[in-house]
Structure 1
Amino acid sequence: MEALLELRRNNHQRGKWNGVRSVYNESFRTMVDLEENCDLIRTVENEVPPGLVQCESFIRALYALSDDERDLDLRVAARLARQEVFRKPGAPEIAFVVSESALRRQYGPPEVMREQIDHMVKLSRLPNVHYQVLPFKTRGQSDLIVDRFVLLRIPSPGVAGPLEFFYTENQAELRYLDEKPLVALFDQVWARLTGAALGFEESRRFMRRVASEYN
């Protein structure tokens, strides 16, 4: 984990966290640091659209009851700033496998849910973005998405190869792990998920169909 600590030190030295992104707690700032240095980001989500693809109206609906107006504005600005990673020079490859429940669970009024799904469809058309949906009706695969997680890869020169991290969170903690056996295990889980989920174009059609049902 020394490479991760060095990355954090460098970002602090550049005063990177003096702006709106200071809204993130210390633990989650590591995730943003990693995202901005990755060449590959793979995300699995089961109950809510991934934070990296949330549109403004959805973020506001999601946190409207927990933040005052100023805090909410900062949270929105910070989360939207993360989406610069999609189009920056040398943008990473970014892939998602998302359960149908993340599309169906209603966090805002119908127009917000439609806008959120449309936003994901739009992002999925970027050449470096791959978005797959795992429907409820996936035979024999009902237990595939048990935990939400992110796999991150940072290119690194030398014979050691790239740095690879596994990230997960729950109500109690955020965890960043780089143990090779654990990363390899969740790489296998990722392979199973992408094999069971809908293809890219089929996922877009599925999302558009769900969006049309919010009325």
Structure 2
Amino acid sequence: MATIDPSESARAYLAYHLKRLRDERGWSQPALGNKIHVSGSLVSGIETQQRRPTLKNLKALDKVFGLDQFFAPLYPRILEETGLPAGFPEFADAEAEAGMLRSYQNFVIHGLFQTPDYARAVLAAGEQPTKLEQLVHTRLERQGILHKEDPPAIISLLDASVLRRPFGGREVMRAQLEHLLKLAELPHIHIHIVPEEAELCPEGAFTLMSSPGEPDVSYVEMAGGRGQLIDDDEYVAELGILFELIRSKALTAEDSVTAIRKALEEL
């Protein structure tokens, strides 16, 4: 592996010193992961700059290495480097730490389920090529939670229109729908299509995040790729009720797979 220049960026600084400190103590990546309650693959991803740590991860690293505010202060700089809209990095952190995700999407397929080409097509409007690739990388980076050792349970409600909205063209949509079918086979992912005749108008996409012993939080999406992390108990409870109302109108998981296959055949 090429030597990392810690002066290149906050993530490079983190990667360089994390590996240095880990090697000094003779800890493997899985061993360090056990100490801070994450997978060894996440430690590897941080050291190769392929995964973005959460603030919780950085605080845990400071604690395990006996350091005072060494890694944690890097967090704001790391967020700046992502180029993401305000509010989104905090959502990504909450998403990564949740035990259950409940999401409703009314315009695009859920970001955790997107193929690289589909994500590129969704994010392309008005973006410079360099910034676009950075956004696509960050979106794909989030998908690491789908395959970690203890993945969250995900209940995804998708409006039927997302199956026919042709982001990227026919071949991109074909690959995206095939990918969606593969994800639907995973035991922790439950995809439900909301038929167009459901007569619901939630007016926007949102995600509810739950973890044992922690209050639920929600992320409400807005125009321009922005959003807001919500921790107001009353509002989060309202969104929870809305989610269940939408789910009551959605197809079963089995019928949803049939609907996805039908959309794929009609491309």
Task: Give deviations 1:25-44, integer Å, cap 9, x for gaps.
Answer: 34210011001110011110
Instruction: Tell me: CA distance 1:208–1:199, structure 2 relative to 1, closer, same or farther (3 Å).
Output: same
1:90 to 136, 140, 150: 150
SS at match of 2:120: helix
Structure 2 counterpart of 1:3: none
Segments of 5+ residues of structure 2 without an aligned counterpart are: 1-54, 61-70
Q: Which whole-Å deviations, capped at 9, do the CAs of 1:133-171 have from their partners, x for residues lacking one? A: 011133xxx12433211101133xxxxx32211210212
Q: Which residue does the alignment assign to 1:165?
A: 217
The one of 152, 164, 183 equivalent to 2:209 is: 152
1:110 and 2:170 equivalent? yes
Q: CA deviation at 1:184?
A: 1.7
Query: Residues 195 and 135 of structure 1: is their aligned pair in 2 closer, same or farther, counting only changes over 3 Å?
Result: same
Describe the shift of the 1:114–1:21 C-alpha distance in structure 2 as closer, same or farther (beyond 3 A). farther
Q: CA deviation at 1:71?
A: 2.1
Task: Find the counterpart in structure 1 of residue 92 from structure 2.
Answer: 32
Q: Give the letter aligned to residue 251 of structure 2.
A: L
SS at match of 1:97: strand
Aligned-residue identity in percent: 26
- Give the gaps of 5 or more residues in structure 1: 1-5, 156-160
Greater gyration radius? 2
- Report if the CA contact (8 A) 2:207-2:220 is conserved: yes
| 4+ long deviations beyond 3 Å | 6-12, 14-21
Aligned to 2:258: 205
Distance 1:180 1:18, change over 3 A: closer
Retained in 1: the 8 A contact 2:216–2:231? yes
Higher relative contact order (CA closer than 8 Å, sequence separation 6+): 1
What's the counterpart of residue 126 of structure 1? 186
Deviations 1:62-112 (A, max 9, x none): 233433332222222111111111111211111100101111222221111
TM-score by length of 2: 0.68
1:194 to 247, 254, 257: 247
Summarize the Cα distance change of 1:85–1:101 in structure 2 as closer, same or farther, 3 Å threshold: same
Point out the structure with the larger helix share.
Answer: 2
RMSD between aligned residues: 2.6
Is the Cα–Cα contact under 8 Å of residues 20 and 74 in structure 1 kept in the other structure?
Answer: no
Letter in 2 for 1:143: L
Task: Give secondary structure in 2 for the equivalent of 1:193.
Answer: helix
